[in-house]
Structure formats: structure tokens, C-alpha cells
Amino acid sequence: MASTGTTKSKSWMKPLLTTAGLYNLICALYLVLAPFDLFERSGVEAPNLPLLVQMLGLGAGVLGLGFLLAASDPLRHWPVVLMGFAAKLGSALGSGLAVWHGQLPAGSLWLALLNGLIWCPPLALILVFAYQSSLRQRRVLSPEIVRMALRRRSNQGVTLEEMSALSPVLLVFLRHSGCTFCREALADLAARRKEIEAQGARLTLVHMGSEEHGAKFFARYGLQNVPRVSDPERALYRAFGLPRGSLGDLFGPRVWWRGFQAAILGRHGVGLLNGDGFQMPGVFLLFHGEVLRSYRHLSAADRPDYLALVTGREYASPEFSS
């Protein structure tokens, strides 16, 4: 089963880790070639142990190589990022304690800031994204559960499994109909429907409202004849591993901005809550009862490229690029 657009590293992670790696390598070279220079510049008596300082430099070099390795796939190499975060935090705290106890001059705090603290927030953020990614990857679809879920019938009396045996099915799980992003998604699907169907795929919608409500609501977008599945109990949502969102997923700053764009600038508006307001959406491409590709929203405001899911080309979201 392929997944699209949900576990990629953010664009800033690679240059950050590359910079951290090069910085550490430069520091390592400096400590190895001039082990006493830093002490002299800081006004601290240098220990008569140049080899010890050079060994610390080699340690910084190893950490730098680790950062460069992690830059190739920051989320996958999160243990290296964790080690780097711990090293940077420990270095900063150790320097701060040394200044507190008078073992280092106060002027050396700039070194603790440069070498430690400024790196900690972005490294911590990478670890947060890695944790969120791991949670999403744990929602692996069980073949047995999917097989049972595909027996659900659409409003046209045909099961999802039967539809996927005839042609690929783009199964779109929507949020509640009062959500501006649900309305935006339907407008996007209506605009791209001909292109999707030209690729041989059949659009099918899953919603949390009643069948009567779904018929009226989808007709507003010219999608009244698209197969749909009413799932107010959210059984299908759970079967496909779509969770309820966190407050950040639903009410984060970027979600509010995208909400303004969709509701006001895009004129999609908002409506009354109809379904679970915390339920996250998702998109799955089915064929012969198998999930070929999927998109699990990182936030309620994600705007998938539905045609890219059908064609298999590289996914790129204009608002939430990875």
C-alpha cells in the first residue's frame, strides 16, 4: 500500500541538518588543529591536556557526520536527531552551570548559545514531526478489516469491492458538511471530476450525514449521481485508519488562515455541524480490493491533489507543501 504526501520531511529540515552537520565539522576541525585557541579567546586557563580537547573535537565531528546523514531523511533518522538534540542541550546546560559556579566567565555564555541552545528548538521540532509521523504510520490498514469494510454498499446498491473490481475507485472521506474544507473539497472534486474519470477512476464519497442529507448536499456541487456511502457511525472511517483530530489538527494557526481563505475568499462558507467535528478526512485509491495509494490529512485544512493520487505522480500541496 502506498501513501502519498503524509510522511515526507518538511522542506526546511534538510538544509537545517546540513548546516548543523557542516557547523559541527568546522568546530571539530578547529578543536583538533588549535585545541588551546578557544580557551585563550574565552579567558579561561587551558588544561594541559590537548589530546582531551582534540578527542572532544572528534566527538563533534562524529555528531556532524550524523547530522549530514540524517539530512537525507530527517524523520526516518530521528534517533540521530535525538542524539544531536541531547548533545546540544547537554552542552548548553553544562556551560550554563559552569558559569553559574564561576568555573567559566560570563562572557563565554555566547558560546553556549551558539553551540547549543539555538539548535535545540528546530531539532526538537523535527522530533515532534517524527513522532506524529510514526503515529500515522502505525495506522496500517489490516487487510482483513479493509476486506470487510469493502463490503459496504453505496447508495446505488453496489459494494465498494464490486466497484473496485471494475475500475479504480477514488474513495474520498469527507469531514462534516458544515466544515468549509469539506465544501472546498467537494468544489475541487467537481472541478476535477472529468479529469479523474478520464484516467479510468470512479469517484465515490463517504460522509457522516444521512443519505437524504448527502443527496441534497452533494447536488449543490453537481455530484448527486456520484456513488456515496452514508457512515454516521464512522465505522468506515475507523476501518481505514482515519482518526479524530487533535486541537492542533483542527484549530492551528495555519488552519485558521486556510479557513479564512476557503470560507471568505473562496466563498465556500460554513454551516451547522453535521457529524463528528473532530473526524479527520482522507483519500484512498482502491483497485481489485487493494489500497494502491492513500492520503491522510495532517490537518483539517490540507488540500489534496486528487488527480495526482489517481495518476501516481509526485504529490505537491500548494498550501501545505512538505
CA distance 42 to 56: 17
pLDDT given at position 317:
40
Q: Do 227 and 155 form a contact (C-beta atoms < 8 A)?
A: yes
pLDDT of 148 reads: 84
pLDDT at 312: 84
The 3-state DSSP class for residue 108 equals: helix
- Contacting residues for 187 by C-beta, under 8 A, at least 6 apart: 221, 266, 268
The CATH number for 139-311, chosen from 3.40.30.10, 3.40.50.300, 3.30.1490.20, 3.40.190.80, is 3.40.30.10
pLDDT value at residue 1: 39
Q: What is the pLDDT of residue 320?
A: 33
Given a contact cutoff of 8 angstroms between Cβ atoms, the answer to whether 311 and 2 are in contact is no
Residues contacting residue 34 through CB under 8 Å, at least 6 positions apart: none
Closest CA to 6 of 310, 318, 297: 297
Q: What is the pTM of this model?
A: 0.60
- Along the chain (322 residues), what's the average pLDDT of each consecutive run of 10 residues? 48 93 90 74 63 80 92 91 90 72 63 75 92 65 75 94 95 96 97 96 96 95 96 92 86 91 94 92 94 90 94 54 32
The DSSP result for 229-290, as a single string, is EE-TT-HHHHHTT--B--HHHHHSHHHHHHHHIIIIIS--------S-TTB--EEEEEETTE
Domain ranges for the chain, please list them: 13-137, 139-311
